[in-house]
Structure 1
Amino acid sequence: MTDSPVKTRRDGAILEVTLDRPKANAIDLATSVIMGDTFMAFRDDPELRVAIITGAGAKFFCPGWDLKAAADGDAVDGNYGVGGFGGLQEMRDMNKPVIAAVNGIACGGGLELALSADIILAADHASFALPEIRSGTVADAASVKLPKRIPYHIAMELLLTGRWFDVQEAHRWGLVNEIVPGDGLMERAWELARLLASGPPLVYAAIKEIVRDAEDAKFQDAMNRITKSQLASVETLYRSEDQMEGARAFAEKRDPVWKGR
Structure 2
Amino acid sequence: MSVDVERRGPITVVTINRPQAGNSLDGATMTGIGYAFEEAAKDPEVRVVVLTAAGEKIFCAGMDLKAFMTPGAMEVQGPGLGVFMRQAFPKPVVAAVNGTAVGGGFELAMFCDIIVAAETAKFGLPEVSRGLIAAGGGTRLPTRVPLAFALELGLTGKPVQASRLYEVGLVSRVVPAAEVLAAALEIAEAIADNGPLAVQVTKALMVGEVPAADWDAIGKAVAPVFASDDAKEGATAFAQKRKPNWVGH
Q: Normalising by the residue count of structure 1, what TM-score does the alignment of the two structures yield? A: 0.88
Matching of residue 95 in structure 1 with residue 90 in structure 2:
yes
Deviation at 1:240, TM superposition (A): 1.7
Deviation at 1:69, TM superposition (A): 0.3
Aligned to 2:147: 152
The whole-number CA distance in structure 2 between the counterparts of 1:208 and 1:170 is 22
Deviations 1:59-111 (A, max 9, x none): 110011111101112477x54741435x5312x45221111000001000000
Tell me, yes or no, if the aligned pair for 1:125 and 1:167 is still in contact at 8 Å.
Answer: yes
The whole-number CA distance in structure 2 between the counterparts of 1:144 and 1:255 is 41
Tell me, yes or no, if the aligned pair for 1:83 and 1:89 is still in contact at 8 Å.
Answer: no
The whole-number CA distance in structure 1 between the counterparts of 2:32 and 2:227 is 35
Letter in 2 for 1:237: V
Unaligned runs of 5+ in 2: none
Aligned to 2:48: 50
Tell me, yes or no, if the aligned pair for 1:111 and 1:128 is still in contact at 8 Å.
Answer: yes
Aligned to 1:238: 226
Matching of residue 19 in structure 1 with residue 19 in structure 2:
no
Matching of residue 7 in structure 1 with residue 4 in structure 2:
yes
Letter in 2 for 1:172: E
Matching of residue 259 in structure 1 with residue 247 in structure 2:
yes
Letter in 1 for 2:243: D
Unaligned runs of 5+ in 1: none
Deviations 1:130-165 (A, max 9, x none): 000011111111111111111110111110111111
State which of 204, 213, 222 in structure 2 corresponds to 1:220: 213
Deviations 1:164-216 (A, max 9, x none): 1111111111121111111111122222222111111111110122234457x
Aligned to 1:68: 66
The whole-number CA distance in structure 2 between the counterparts of 1:65 and 1:157 is 21
Aligned residue runs from structure 1 range 190-201, under 5 A: 190-201=185-196
Q: How large is the Cα RMSD of the aligned pairs?
A: 1.9
The whole-number CA distance in structure 1 between the counterparts of 2:120 and 2:72 is 31
Tell me, yes or no, if the aligned pair for 2:116 and 2:171 is still in contact at 8 Å.
Answer: yes
> For this pair of structures, how many residues does the alignment match?
248
The whole-number CA distance in structure 1 between the counterparts of 2:2 and 2:73 is 19
Larger deviation, residues 205-214 vs 159-168: 205-214
Aligned residue runs from structure 1 range 120-131, under 5 A: 120-131=115-126
State which of 201, 205, 213 in structure 2 corresponds to 1:210: 205
Identity of aligned residues (%): 39
In structure 2, relative to structure 1, the CA distance for the partners of 1:142 and 1:93 (3 Å cut) is closer
Letter in 1 for 2:91: K
Tell me, yes or no, if the aligned pair for 1:60 and 1:104 is still in contact at 8 Å.
Answer: yes
Letter in 1 for 2:218: I
The whole-number CA distance in structure 1 between the counterparts of 2:217 and 2:196 is 21
Tell me, yes or no, if the aligned pair for 2:32 and 2:80 is still in contact at 8 Å.
Answer: no
Deviation at 1:235, TM superposition (A): 4.7
Letter in 2 for 1:192: I
**SS at structure 2 position matched to 1:220:** coil
